[in-house]
Structure 1
Amino acid sequence: MNKVFKQFEETMDIIQKLKEVPESQLTEAISEGKWSIREIVGHLYYWDKYNLEEMVPLMANGAKLPQFPNHDEHNEEAASYIKDHSVESVIKNFIETRKELIEAISKVGKDTRFTIGQGKRKFSDESFIKIFVKHDIHHLQQINKKLND
């Protein structure tokens, strides 16, 4: 497995360790007007769920995948979706969905190239996942900062 996929997989280990953190820390906003760690994990889960259901099944050579949804609306949907879920179930859902996503995208041929929305750039399974590795890193930094403050 290459570095990008390894990084994408490692996020599961980091999120799994959050089960050892007191729930009160996971449900408190990371800073004024920001999400809690629980909501960040739910946000990551919801993007994985979207990619697993809407993007990966369409990844074929020469395919034109849909444009990503409006980020603000998608993020609001994510917050609403996890609203009634416990921290434990949000973490569990994230890990299960990330595993499924990794398995599904690993079945996309290495030579498969596709575009997203109106874009001309050709993506591979790896360059697609790289977008979300960067996304993971951004949010994992927020989580680490909150837990180490």
Structure 2
Amino acid sequence: MNKTLNQFGKTIDEVLKLKETSRTKLCEAISEGKWSIREIVGHLYYWDKFNLEKMVPLMVQDADLPKFPDHDQHNEEAMTFLKDYSVETIIDNFVVTRKELSERLSSIDRDVRFTIGGGKRKFSGESFVKIFVKHDAHHLKQINEKLDS
């Protein structure tokens, strides 16, 4: 799990680099009808917050964790929750939450298996994190494409 958690933690470095980018660039849509970098980081933060509060505390042997929320609704809630936050605050909140989430995930015994939302698939802490490593990669690609444009 260390390798996976290291990858998960590397997103912190990528997000911290954004502090060197102008607020204007961080707040403009990455393309028409899409989120801004600010909103993407907020989206990542809101998922971390959800996992930290609702999922990780329940990760014990044979547990059935709640199903993931409807993605569209969850994302809409994230944007509402973050509307009054500055881009700097969102970045700082992401960093603090990602560090805490990584610490909590690292403390889950590697042999623990659980399901999500009544599903049959057994997850470990590591396979759970891999979902979000892929999610990070998708959004980091979007961010980097915007920064390179």
Q: Percent identity between the aligned chains?
A: 66
Aligned counterpart, 1:85 = 85
Displacement of 1:107:
1.2
Matches within 5 A, 1:38-117: 38-117=38-117
Displacement of 1:102:
0.5
> Whole-Å Cα distance in 2 between the matches of residues 9 and 107 of structure 1?
15
Aligned counterpart, 2:148 = 148
1:74-109 Cα deviation digits (max 9, x unpaired): 000001111000010000000000001001111111
Which ranges in structure 2 are unaligned for 5 or more consecutive residues? none
Are residues 1:15 and 2:34 paired? Answer: no
1:25-59 Cα deviation digits (max 9, x unpaired): 00000000000000000000000000000000000
Give the secondary structure class of the aligned counterpart of 2:93. helix
Q: Work out the number of aligned pairs and report it.
A: 149
Structure 1 consecutive aligned stretches of length 4 or more whose deviation exceeds 3 Å = none
Which amino acid is the alignment partner of residue 63 of structure 1?
A
TM-score normalised by structure 1 residue count: 0.98
> Whole-Å Cα distance in 2 between the matches of residues 58 and 4 of structure 1?
20
Displacement of 1:2:
2.4
Displacement of 1:118:
2.1
Which ranges in structure 1 are unaligned for 5 or more consecutive residues? none
Aligned counterpart, 1:28 = 28
Which amino acid is the alignment partner of residue 141 of structure 1?
K
Check conservation: 2:5, 2:106, Cα contact below 8 A.
no
